[in-house]
């Protein structure tokens, strides 16, 4: 006879379902919690005034002029998100990426404006050349190869100009060798020893950056990024990258992308115990948005499940285009 009574006499001592019986019970034993404190919102800053242009492949993400970037930072703060990551879309591009360290370029202007108008928001800047070079590569080209050391000199100039404008954190995303140590020394020499370095330490050569390159106009004109970004198949190498960046002075280390690299996040966190960031990148965001638009997934649930997984893997810092939406959902 298969009644409830007869099952109860099976003598099952451990019933894991007991702790799932109601929401307060589930909340009581929940292991991973998300907070808006974990989130960083990326912003794409362009020239002009009053510009707010939606990126076609990234719904609800915009190219913003400085005045609009300030509004967006203020809106993020109102939602509970206290950190933004700035990317620059300068009109002027050349073969050495000189707009990367132009004090009047969009990023430098946005840093000053956000620090002035929205105090309390941490301003993080992406340090790379790909948004600033006319060929779209992350560094200086010599015979069509990215030349490591001359590129590092340019990155130091960019990082120092961000610090001079008031950035709290600089985030080198170029994957050149030795750039963290060079940036640390360059900042310290000029008295910016309190500026934090968040290194894109384990950055993979990923197909999931596609929509970003539309947003930032940074698709390489020829070739790819395989000579500096990591092979998706490797994880021991990621640990070596992270170790080297920590030795060179990184304060925070990042794994990027996030969802396809949760094992890397977990291993990095376990091996080093450093503040660990994960970048939930443009393609990961675009996939959820596209599926949601088709009515194929429940977007709010898929968003929270994704962000929870990244947090559970070990990242306390999550860079995501969903930052505002997720913060509102948590409120």
Which residues are identified as catalytic? 203, 256
**Residue 312 lies near ligand PBG (rule: CB under 6 A):** no
* H-helix or E-strand spanning residue 170: strand 169-172
Strands 58-65 and 39-46: parallel
CB of 291 to ligand PBG, least distance (A): 17
Cα–Cα distance between 165 and 241 in angstroms, integer?
A: 29
Q: Which residue has the tokens 């948005």?
A: 289
CB of 236 to ligand PBG, least distance (A): 22
**Residue 128 lies near ligand PBG (rule: CB under 6 A):** yes
Q: Which of 156, 169, 281, 288 binds ligand PBG (CB under 6 A)?
A: 281
CB of 128 to ligand PBG, least distance (A): 3
**Residue 53 lies near ligand PBG (rule: CB under 6 A):** no
**Residue 209 lies near ligand PBG (rule: CB under 6 A):** yes
Q: Which residue has the tokens 């360290």?
A: 101
CB of 228 to ligand PBG, least distance (A): 9
Dihedral, 26, 27, 33, 34 alpha carbons, nearest 10: 110
The residue among 67 and 205 lying less far from ligand PBG, judged by its C-beta, is 205
83, burial (CB in 10 Å: exposed 0-12, middle 13-18, buried 19+): buried
**Residue 126 lies near ligand PBG (rule: CB under 6 A):** yes
Q: Which stretch binds ligand PBG (CB under 6 A): 18-26, 123-131, 148-156, 322-330?
A: 123-131
ω before 257 within 30° of 0 (cis)? yes
User: What b-and-e string marks burial along 225-252, b requiring 16 or more CB atoms within 10 Å of the CB?
Assistant: beebbbeeeeeeebbebbebbbebbbbb
The residue among 77 and 228 lying less far from ligand PBG, judged by its C-beta, is 228
Q: With CB under 6 A, what is the number of residues at the site for ligand PBG?
A: 10
Q: Which residues of the shown chain bind ligand PBG in the complex (CB under 6 A)?
A: 126, 128, 130, 173, 209, 212-213, 218, 281-282
């Amino acid at each position: 006879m298969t009644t409830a009574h007869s099952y109860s006499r099976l003598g099952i001592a451990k019933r894991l379902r007991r702790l799932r019986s109601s929401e307060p019970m589930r909340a009581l034993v929940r292991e991973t919690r998300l907070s808006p404190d974990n989130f960083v919102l990326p912003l794409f800053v362009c020239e002009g005034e009053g510009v707010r242009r939606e990126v076609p492949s990234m719904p609800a993400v915009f190219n913003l002029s400085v005045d609009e970037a300030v509004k967006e930072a203020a809106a993020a703060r109102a939602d509970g998100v206290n950190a933004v990551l700035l990317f620059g879309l300068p009109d002027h591009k050349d073969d050495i990426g000189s707009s990367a360290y132009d004090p009047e370029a969009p990023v430098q202007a946005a840093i000053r404006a956000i620090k002035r108008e929205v105090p309390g928001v941490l301003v993080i800047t992406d340090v790379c050349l790909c948004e600033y070079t006319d060929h779209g590569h992350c560094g200086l080209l010599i015979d069509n190869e990215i030349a490591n050391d001359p590129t590092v000199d340019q990155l130091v100039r960019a990082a120092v100009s961000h610090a001079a404008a008031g950035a709290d954190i600089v985030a080198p995303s170029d994957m050149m060798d030795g750039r963290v140590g060079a940036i640390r020394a360059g900042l310290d020499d000029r008295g910016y020893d309190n500026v934090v370095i968040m290194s894109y330490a384990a950055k993979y050569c990923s197909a999931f950056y596609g929509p970003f390159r539309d947003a930032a106009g940074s698709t390489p004109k020829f070739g790819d990024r395989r000579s500096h970004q990591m092979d998706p198949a490797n994880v021991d190498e990621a640990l070596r990258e992270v170790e080297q960046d920590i030795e060179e002075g990184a304060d925070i280390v990042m794994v990027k992308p996030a969802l396809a690299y949760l094992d890397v996040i977990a291993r990095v966190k376990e091996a080093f115990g450093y503040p660990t960031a994960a970048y939930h990148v443009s393609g990961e965001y675009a996939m959820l948005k596209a599926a949601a638009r088709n009515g194929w997934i429940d977007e709010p649930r898929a968003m929270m499940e994704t962000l929870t997984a990244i947090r559970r893997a070990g990242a306390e810092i999550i860079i995501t285009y969903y930052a505002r939406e997720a913060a509102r959902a948590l409120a």
